[in-house]
Structure 1
């Protein structure tokens, strides 16, 4: 059965192309020596959505069930913050909780801000504004291009800015927005603004099993061919 919560209307040509590329179990395409980005290579899915929408769960399922690699564009930020907390004197268990766990939105007394706010300002105010708008993106693409050139699959679980969207589009990526009832921006920070309209939308309004089934449907050629849903 098709999933009524997925996507927007696609032309017959788009559906046929997506059906071939994103079929469950389909082998990754071998790269051509003369291929441009997004042609004849592996595939990329870029996830958008507000914090708490379920992007991490989608990325986890794509990795564990469908063999995607999950290099996170924000991984250097997490490592930088972890090293700072380590230098302050926090134990490893607490660092994990602050950086990407249940204390992520709790105040870090020594910094006067939360882990989320620290990563946002490291990423945007320092990295993008002081070093360069493409700083983090260039680091991430260096890893991703090697994967897709070898026919691998990549999911980026946190697409936040227009230049990231542009680079993903150039590589033939599928942009998916994860929506969850009652979840919206947690602040007015620029990284909290969705950077583009997605190709498909996943509605995360049920259980984790429901969300995983919706992800499987996105990768199913049958679902893509039978889902003319608009958003």
Structure 2
């Protein structure tokens, strides 16, 4: 079982999804003061959001803070494994969830309970507090699960940019959380190799500075 703290700090466990390593940090010469404080990533499942988030962490020093971080931490506390929460077991029915899949549990708890019953700004409020803590400590934030218009609005109010990742055969779901009814600041096509994706991300960062 993966521990609660592993998911909660910094809100999210992301398994590596590509064996290609980015170039070393010394390869880049961006002025860190000119990088956006917040980069939010949106896109359908499989489009490459986690890959971009890892790149921003490893090369540009961003800290990942996810809207669904507390929810995933709760799933870990219930006894679900990293593969069930983030990996290839997410779509497999689980006895702990009375035969439902982890994806179904997270979607319904996150949307039907968290947004529709507790309040639309429930998750954004938690995220904003965590993101502000990183920024106040001199850091920058990447969030790789921006799905709802109010999440996008929160990012923009805090001075962030929203990148929509498309391509890679990503699959759009029918659930409300998969609609992404908002316009991104930049669209990044991920239809080539991973180094091309990294280059496009760098181009997006440069436009900000």
Smaller-chain TM-score bracket: 0.7 to 0.9
Q: 1:105·1:114 contact (CA, 8 Å) conserved in 2?
A: yes
Distance across 2 between alignment mates of 1:194 and 1:207: 25
Matched with 1:27 is 32
Structure 1 residue 110 displacement after superposition: 4.1
Structure 1 residue 113 displacement after superposition: 1.9
Q: 2:46·2:169 contact (CA, 8 Å) conserved in 1?
A: no
Q: 1:24·1:66 contact (CA, 8 Å) conserved in 2?
A: no
Distance across 2 between alignment mates of 1:110 and 1:152: 37
Matched with 1:36 is none
Indicate whether 1:96 and 2:78 are aligned: no
Among 49, 54, 74, the alignment partner of 1:55 is 49
Among 142, 158, 181, the alignment partner of 2:129 is 142
Structure 1 residue 109 displacement after superposition: 3.7
Indicate whether 1:129 and 2:123 are aligned: no
Q: Which has the higher contact order (CA 8 A, sep 6+)?
A: 1
Structure 1 residue 211 displacement after superposition: 1.4
- Please, what TM-score do these two structures have when normalized by structure 1? 0.72
Among 171, 189, 192, the alignment partner of 2:178 is 192
Q: 1:28·1:153 contact (CA, 8 Å) conserved in 2?
A: no
Distance across 1 between alignment mates of 2:116 and 2:175: 13
Distance across 2 between alignment mates of 1:147 and 1:97: 27
Structure 1 residue 65 displacement after superposition: 0.5
The count of corresponding residues between Structure 1 and Structure 2 is 181
- Please, what TM-score do these two structures have when normalized by structure 2? 0.79
Distance across 1 between alignment mates of 2:79 and 2:49: 26
The gaps in structure 1 that reach 5 residues or longer are: 1-22, 30-40, 87-94, 226-231
Q: Please, what is the CA RMSD of the aligned residues?
A: 2.2
Distance across 2 between alignment mates of 1:148 and 1:56: 21
Structure 1 residue 206 displacement after superposition: 1.6
Matched with 1:217 is 203
Distance across 1 between alignment mates of 2:95 and 2:200: 40
Structure 1 residue 68 displacement after superposition: 0.5
Instruction: Specify the SS of the correspondent of 2:79.
Output: helix
